[in-house]
Amino acid sequence: MLSNKKKVYLFIKRFFDFLLSLVAIIILSPLFLIIAILIKIDSEGPVFFKHKRIGKNGKIIGIYKFRSMVINAEELIKKFTPEQKAEYEKNFKLDNDPRITKIGKFLRKSSLDELPQLINILIGNMSIVGPRPIVKKELEKYGKNKDKFLSVTPGLTGFWQASGRSDVSYDERIKMELYYVDNCSLWLDFKIILKTFVAVIKKEGAK
């Protein structure tokens, strides 16, 4: 049962999620067009990539991204070296991923590949701030805390996202995500947004 304070927080959070994502999509539409053209010039395949992740209460959602990998990315996993496979299974990403395109490297480094998730925020299956949405296999790492982790709406940015991202171990990431779930508030959301801007400008942890 949600307290009145929690209900007010969620209402205000959803109001600003909708308003800010709508305004951002309108303002950034020229940038969306430029990125789309660069992706099409750089490699074959669609501009957007829709990836299945686990959302609030375990619901499967499709999150949108600008495509940053080659179109046969899943097949290339089979060609990973033993070292690459071990790194991928541990962190669900590689420092030097051979599947990433030239423009994809720039999009990831600048976090611009995440911009289409403004659409997810607009429709309500993501928020501006919250734990990053994960794939099913990652959920196993949360163990007994998986239900707690899934009790909030995933976000475009979050405590982990604004605190180093790839420079942080997965175990540390879990602690950060659960900290947010236990302490989420408008003030914490505001601090995370400011911290995210600083991290993006400094390119901290982006790979």
41-64 pLDDT, tens digit per residue, is: 999 999 999 999 999 999 999 999
Q: Which pLDDT score, from 0 to 100, does residue 53 have?
A: 94
Q: Which pLDDT score, from 0 to 100, does residue 165 have?
A: 66
Q: What is the pLDDT of residues 136-145, one digit of tens each?
A: 888 989 999 9
In one-letter notation, the amino acid at residue 77 is I
Q: What is the pLDDT of residues 189-200, one digit of tens each?
A: 999 999 988 877
Q: Which pLDDT score, from 0 to 100, does residue 144 have?
A: 94
Phi-psi region of 124 (alpha: psi -120 to 50; beta: other; left: phi over 0): left
Q: Which pLDDT score, from 0 to 100, does residue 163 have?
A: 80
Q: Which pLDDT score, from 0 to 100, does residue 57 have?
A: 94
Collect contacts of 109-115 with beta carbons under 8 A, ≥24 apart.
109/203, 109/206, 109/207, 110/200, 110/203, 110/206, 111/200, 111/206, 112/31, 112/35, 112/66, 113/65, 113/66, 113/68, 114/65, 114/156, 115/28, 115/31, 115/32, 115/35, 115/66
Maximum distance among all Cα pairs of the chain, rounded to whole angstroms: 53
Which stretches of the chain drop beneath a pLDDT of 50? none
User: DSSP state, 64?
Assistant: E
Three-state SS annotation for 79-139? HCCHHHHHHHHHHCCCCCCCCECHHHHHHHHHCHHHCCHHHHHHHCCCEEECCCCECHHHH
